[in-house]
Structures are given as C-alpha cells and as structure tokens.
Structure 1
Amino acid sequence: MALRPVMVNIKALDASAVGRFWAEALGWSAYSPGVTTYVGPGGGLVWPDPVAVCVDVVPVPEPKTTAKNRVHLDLATTSAAHQAELVARLQALGATPAHVGQGKVPWTVLADPEGNEFCVLEPREVYRDTGPIAAVVVDCADPRAMARFWGEAMDWTLHEVTDDHAVLRSAKGVGPYLEFLRTPDVKTVPDRVHLDLLPYPGDDKAAEVARLRTLGATDLDLGQGDVPWTCLVDPEGHEFCVLALS
C-alpha cells in the first residue's frame, strides 16, 4: 500500500482569481467543478487518476498572514531568457516581488496575488523534464526525518538525503520533485499551502490513514466536519489530506 501526491492545495480569499493566476502561470487550464478551482493540464479533469500533480485553490475566509508559507512551489525554466520572460509575465498577471531573506540568488522570489510565495528558478538540468512545476518545497527542521516519514507514506523514490536537504520524486520519473529544505524558521500558523494525497484504485483509504498514524502522522481538526477526506499532520506539523477515490 502507498499513496501518491495529486494536488497542491492553496487557500485563497478569491479562489477563482488565484486559480486563474496559477492557470496562466503554469500554462494549464482552470476548472471549477464545485467551490474550489482546480488547475491542471488541458483536457479536463481526470479523476480519480490525475495525470500530474495539479493545483487546487480552495476558498477560505481568512487572508494570509505576514508569516512566510512553509510550503511553496518552484517553477522551472529552460533558459535565462525564459526565466526573464516568465518573471515579467507573472508580474503582469499580478505577482509581486517577495523578500524572504534570500539575499542575492540566481532565482527570483515572487508572491501570487494573495501573497503566497513561490520561486522562478534559473535553468537547471535536473528540472528539464518536470513540466512547469519543478518542485514542491517544504521547510522543515529535520530533512532526514521527513524523508523517512514521506518515503514510507508515498510510493515515490528517495533521490537524495542529507542533514540539509531531502529529495523525492515519482518512481515513474515524471513530474515535480518533493523537496524538504532545512530552515531555521519555526511553524507559527497553519500552512496556507499543503499536499493532498490519494490512494490507488483498489486500496483502502481507512487502512492507508491508519498506516500513516503508525508512521507518526496525527489527526487534525480544522472544523472540517463530516467530509470524505481525512486531515492529518506529519511529524513536524505540516498539514496534509488523504482524499477519497470518489
């Protein structure tokens, strides 16, 4: 048994507007099957077997605080010209420069129209085949511990692990990487961005959730009530959800 990440969940006051931004940013399409705005490659929703790690923008009544998100997206580029063009296009769409203590770096840090930070990377060979999202990056205190938990939670392959950095990717070698980056920050507010995981067809969601608890996940009550998904936190308190297949 194992789970697969299928969506990066982003909370927003105006889910439709933020969804449109991310659709334009990634060159994907925005769909509104319900109250959320789902952003994925063209061709319509493919559920319960999505073809990519997509973005789901969920409406919430609270604005983002000034605290830096502990989860963010890194966007891939293919050349210096592409990086410059993408940064300019994103700013025209409503992105703004963000300062998170990065200093002088070759990538550009921006925030979406509601302040969610993300990076536009300089060209890197490792991300040449990921698609528009190079990586989902998670700030943490202990990358080795995160690699153990998430490596057991999902069916992704561990590519690298050090005291400062851990990297996983789909065993199929497609899509973005999941990276855990050691940072000195501590978690002070609920994550504005989190991962949604999905069982494979034929697997038992309740059994998967029970397995995650044995690995160190704990239940999370956000006032969600009776919903078909299960809200959990990993051993460092990062929220995530296990979705139902239908």
Structure 2
Amino acid sequence: MATRLVQINMKARDEAALGAFWAEVLDWEMSREGPGVVNLEPKGFSYPDPVAVCIDIVVTDEPKTGKNRVHLDLATTSAAHKAEVVARLRDLGATPVDVGQGDVSWTVLADPDGNEFCVLDWHDPDQDTGPIASVVVDCADPRAMVRFWGEAMDWTVHRVTDDSAVLRSSRGVGPYLQFLRTPDVKTGWNRVHLDLRPYPGDDLEIEAARLRALGATDIDLGDSSIPWKVFADPEGNEFCLLTPR
C-alpha cells in the first residue's frame, strides 16, 4: 500500500481572486468545488495523475504571518524565458519579496495573497515537469524527512544530502518534491500544505494506520463529518490523507 501527492492546499482571503491569478500563471483551468473552495488543474487533465500536482485554494479569515514553509518553484526554459515569465507575473500582480535569499540565480516573488514562490532559471528538457518544477518544503532535517516521506508515498528518492532531499513520482513525470534545510522555526498552522491520496481499492483506515506507524500524528479538527484524515509529519507539517481514488 502507498499514497501519492495529488495536490497542494493553499489558504486565501479571496479564493476566487487567488485562483484566477494562479490559473493565469500556470495556464490551467479553474473550477469551483463548493463554497469557499476552487480547484486548479491543467486543461484536459484527468485527476488524479502524477503528471501534475493540482492546487486547491480554500478561503480563510486568518491573516498570513511569516514565511510559508511550503512553496512552489516555477520552471523556465532559459534566462530569456525567465525574464519574460517574471515580467508577466509582475503584470498579473506578483511582487518581489526578500526572504533572505541573498544573491541567487532564481527570483523570489509573492502572489497577491502574499504566498512566496520562486521562478527558476533551470529546466531539464529530458524530464519535463510542466510549469511547476517542484514543491518545496522547509525543514530542519532533510534526511529524516525523506525517510518518512519516502515510505509514506511511492515516489522515488532522487537525491539526499544534509541540505536537501528530492523525490519524484515513480512514473518519472510531474514536479519534484524537495525538502530544504532552513533555520526557520515552524510557528502556527501551515498556510500551504500537501494532500496525499491512496490508490483505488486501498483502505483509508489501513493507510492511516501505516502512516502513524511511520511517525505521522493525528490532528483533530473537531469535525467528524469530514471524510479525510489530517496528520502532521515528524516535523509538525500538516498534511491531509484523502479518500482512495
């Protein structure tokens, strides 16, 4: 049994406005799942498919405080393309932001809701990721995190160092998942988090028990009506285990 990363969940003060921004950024379609929730996925996409990690945007009244511990890295094909992408994103409402990155080759921006993301100047034409090159999670210990997440999901571990660990779908498609060492301390609920889903025919309760045995801890939202499970990984990062599909 195993899970796979199917989407990331973003909180927003205005889910429709933020959804429209990211739909333009990624050239994806936006649909409404229900009140306060919009979904973003590639055009013609059949969910779930590892060729893309989709985005759910959920409305919240809670203000953003501090740097997000989960962010997106956007792919570009060349330095010239990167410059074009950055200019277009700024026209759409993205703003430059300093998170202490110093003199780096990538560009750090924030979306209209303040969520940080990066525009890279690297792209591997033999391993096309789509517009999202990677989903990046800040952590204290990449080696410990990849031990958990490498067992939690059926994704393949590509690289592990003291500073970062990288995984990708076992099918060799879609974005990478990177755990990046940072000195920042987690405070409060992550405004952006990962959503995992078991495969069709798997049992949600059995998969939840497997994740607990690996080191996940339950988070009680006080709502017994929700069909999914909410957990924290060994460093306290919240994630959801959705129903099998």
- What TM-score do you get using the length of structure 2 for normalisation? 0.95
Query: Could you tell me how far apart the structure 1 residues matched to 2:179 and 2:117 are?
Result: 15
- Say which SS state the counterpart of residue 146 (structure 2) adopts: helix
- Say which SS state the counterpart of residue 33 (structure 2) adopts: coil
How far the C-alpha of 1:50 sits from its partner, in A, is: 7.0
**Aligned residue pairs, count:** 244
- What TM-score do you get using the length of structure 1 for normalisation? 0.95
CA offsets 1:22-66 (integer angstroms, 9 cap, x no match): 11111111111213110110126x34557521111011111211x
Residue identity (%): 67
**CA spacing shift, 1:224–1:134, aligned 2, 3 Å:** farther
- For 1:168, the aligned partner's letter is L
Contact 1:13-1:61 within 8 A present in 2 as well: yes
- For 1:206, the aligned partner's letter is E
Query: Could you tell me how far apart the structure 2 residues matched to 1:219 and 1:78 are?
Result: 41
Q: For structure 2, list consecutive stretches of 5 or more residues without a partner in the other structure.
A: none
- For 1:15, the aligned partner's letter is E
| Residue of structure 2 in register with 1:43 after alignment | 44
**CA spacing shift, 1:224–1:47, aligned 2, 3 Å:** farther
CA offsets 1:183-220 (integer angstroms, 9 cap, x no match): 11110121010110001001011111110000000011
| Residue of structure 2 in register with 1:112 after alignment | 111
**CA spacing shift, 1:190–1:127, aligned 2, 3 Å:** farther
**CA spacing shift, 1:49–1:123, aligned 2, 3 Å:** closer
Please list every run of at least 4 consecutive aligned residues from structure 1 whose deviation after the TM superposition is greater than 3 angstroms: 46-51, 222-225
After superposition, residues 13-32 of structure 1 pair within 5 angstroms as 13-32=13-32
- For 1:183, the aligned partner's letter is T
- For 2:102, the aligned partner's letter is G
Query: Could you tell me how far apart the structure 1 residues matched to 2:231 and 2:164 are?
Result: 23
Contact 2:51-2:174 within 8 A present in 1 as well: no
What is the aligned-residue RMSD (CA, Å)?
Answer: 1.6
| Residue of structure 2 in register with 1:238 after alignment | 237
Contact 1:76-1:127 within 8 A present in 2 as well: no
| Residue of structure 2 in register with 1:141 after alignment | 140
How far the C-alpha of 1:225 sits from its partner, in A, is: 4.3
- For 1:151, the aligned partner's letter is G
For structure 1, which segment, 222-231 or 205-214, has the greater mean C-alpha deviation from structure 2 after superposition?
A: 222-231
| Residue of structure 2 in register with 1:52 after alignment | 52
For structure 1, which segment, 224-233 or 189-198, has the greater mean C-alpha deviation from structure 2 after superposition?
A: 224-233
How far the C-alpha of 1:16 sits from its partner, in A, is: 0.7
Contact 1:12-1:57 within 8 A present in 2 as well: yes
For structure 1, which segment, 230-239 or 46-55, has the greater mean C-alpha deviation from structure 2 after superposition?
A: 46-55
- For 1:135, the aligned partner's letter is S
